[in-house]
Amino acid sequence: KIRVLQKGTENLKTVNNAAKKSVYEKSKGCPTHWSLLRFILELLILKAKYRWSDSSFNDLLKLLSWLLPKPNFILANTYQTKKVVSPLTLGVERIHACRNPCILYRGKYKKLDKCPTCGASRPSNGKKRKKKKGAPDPSEEDSCFGDENKRRIPALVMWYLNPIDRLRRIFANPAFAKLMRWWYCERTKDEERLSHLADATLVAKI
């Protein structure tokens, strides 16, 4: 059973269907443990591990669709593949940073165009990034800033993974939630025996 957050679960039905659906018909030899969802996740792991471009990944999907018995449910391209697993992903916040790095451009520094500590410019030095085949135009990335007529690419971007999203995902699973509450609900102190490091006298003095 798949558990996801209530927020951003528009494609939850698609995820559940992919978890129940086999890659191709079981009567033609598809292993029962190979669901379409697992197949997609394994492919995306390989894509990230070996840094495959979207174009090469699309070609791989076409080849697999041609090789596997018909009918099969191999998706057509990278976009459709990522769309299936999108409800399972955790949010990421892209924060611009000084290239040296000195500060993060957030809070009182959010609207600055140069670092107040070292004076380094917030945008890149003007050199165009080498665009990978199948990758979007750098000027269209979410991390860019400025008005629509003059999109500027930041010199450095930090990806921040919010721990709150991960904690919500953990507590959505009853088994994991019970383990997370063990410290407060079930932990017992024994005066004669050290059952946990937190009970040590040295830790209490920290």
pLDDT value of residue 81: 94
Q: Considering the domain boundaries, does residue 27 fall inside one?
A: yes
Range of the domain at 183: 163-205
Place of tokens 């088994």: 175
Alpha-carbon Rg for the chain in angstroms: 24
**Distance between CA 98 and CA 154 in Å, rounded?**
9
**Distance between CA 72 and CA 67 in Å, rounded?**
10
Q: Considering the domain boundaries, does residue 149 fall inside one?
A: no
- Using DSSP's 3-state secondary structure scheme, residue 45 falls into helix
Q: In the Cβ-directed half-sphere of 159, how many Cα atoms lie within 13 Å?
A: 5
pLDDT value of residue 16: 85
Number of domains in the chain: 2
Helices (DSSP H) in the chain: which residue ranges?
Answer: 12-20, 36-49, 54-67, 78-85, 163-171, 174-180, 182-185, 201-205
Angle ∠(105,109,110) on CA atoms, nearest 5: 60
pLDDT (tens, 9 = 90+) of the chain, 206 residues, equals: 445 545 444 557 788 889 999 999 999 999 989 999 999 999 999 999 999 999 999 999 999 999 999 999 999 999 999 989 888 888 889 999 999 989 999 999 999 999 999 999 999 875 545 544 444 444 444 556 665 556 688 999 999 998 988 898 888 889 999 999 887 788 777 767 777 777 777 766 76
Q: Considering the domain boundaries, does residue 167 fall inside one?
A: yes
Structure tokens at 17: 């269907």
Measured from the Cβ of residue 187, the count of other Cβ atoms closer than 10 Å reads 12
Residue that finishes a domain, picked among 66, 88, 110: 88
Please give the full DSSP string across 140-195, using - where no structure is assigned.
GSTT-BS-TTS-B-BS-EEEEE-HHHHHHHHHTSHHHHHHHTHHHHT----TTS--
Residue that finishes a domain, picked among 44, 61, 88: 88
Q: Considering the domain boundaries, does residue 45 fall inside one?
A: yes
Residue that finishes a domain, picked among 70, 88, 106: 88
Q: Considering the domain boundaries, does residue 128 fall inside one?
A: no
pLDDT value of residue 66: 95
**Distance between CA 25 and CA 20 in Å, rounded?**
12
Q: Considering the domain boundaries, does residue 22 fall inside one?
A: yes
Measured from the Cβ of residue 110, the count of other Cβ atoms closer than 10 Å reads 11
Q: Considering the domain boundaries, does residue 111 fall inside one?
A: no
Q: Is residue 199 within 8 Å of residue 192, measured between CB atoms? A: no
pLDDT value of residue 7: 47
